[in-house]
Chain A
């Protein structure tokens, strides 16, 4: 699994490539937490899941955990362009009913910045 993170304004953009499971989810969580701790102004996380080839409930749990961290401050996690397997897992788990899932990064970005 590879993770690329960048902060744009008050949005943390996270690109994930590869498989998110019990073995890799802790690294995903640690990288995102490190960014949130270092940048307290971050309001939203934009999670680009186009190249997530596999995700199970361990990976989904990390997404839920970050949602729980941001939500009390009015922030959110927004998923962009999920792969078919990721979209199915998000829907089966019920997470798709909690966080926004956008077909494109542009759509997700618009949602993050509120336009």
Chain B
């Protein structure tokens, strides 16, 4: 049984692809046997929030690309979601709860992502895009923070 694997894909930043992205990552994450179903649901929610942010905010009226990669290294899952849009001028401000002007939005996307990830890193260069990196391991993994040497 392999313990290292990866998947990389690109797709247009459209609402129809949000479900596709989270389902792909959930299927990939399920290769880590010690993930519980609840933890797989957590991964789905984190990916859905990240891809939704890209669809909503990155490209404006034009349509761009989302690049998604998921890497399994032992019991560690790393997911990267990247776009090449307008970027975020102030990442810390964007991560603040309820930072939205839309009455039909929660402004809780980053809060949810942080709560459900072991690590969440958001980086951006204005005009070049946003990169969201997530790390998640099964809670029952004794040494979840330690990855096997390759």
Residue positions of A touching B, CB distance < 8 A: 19, 21-23, 25, 29, 54, 56-58, 60-62, 64-65, 68, 84-85, 88-89, 92-95
Contacts and interface: CB of A to CB of B under 8 A. Distances in A.
Nearest to B109: A57
If over half of B's interface residues share one DSSP class (helix, strand or loop), that class is named, otherwise mixed; here it is helix
B104 A64 contact: yes
Interface residues of B, number: 27
A61 B105 contact: yes
Interface of B: 15-16, 18-19, 22, 38, 41, 44-45, 48-49, 52, 55-56, 97, 102-109, 111-112, 115-116
Contacts of A54: 22, 41, 44-45, 48
Contacts of A25: 104
A65 B16 contact: no
Contact of B56 (A22, A89, A93, A95): A22
A26 B85 CA distance: 24
Contact of B19 (A19, A68, A89): A19
B52 A56 contact: yes
Contacts of B104: 25, 29, 61-62, 64-65
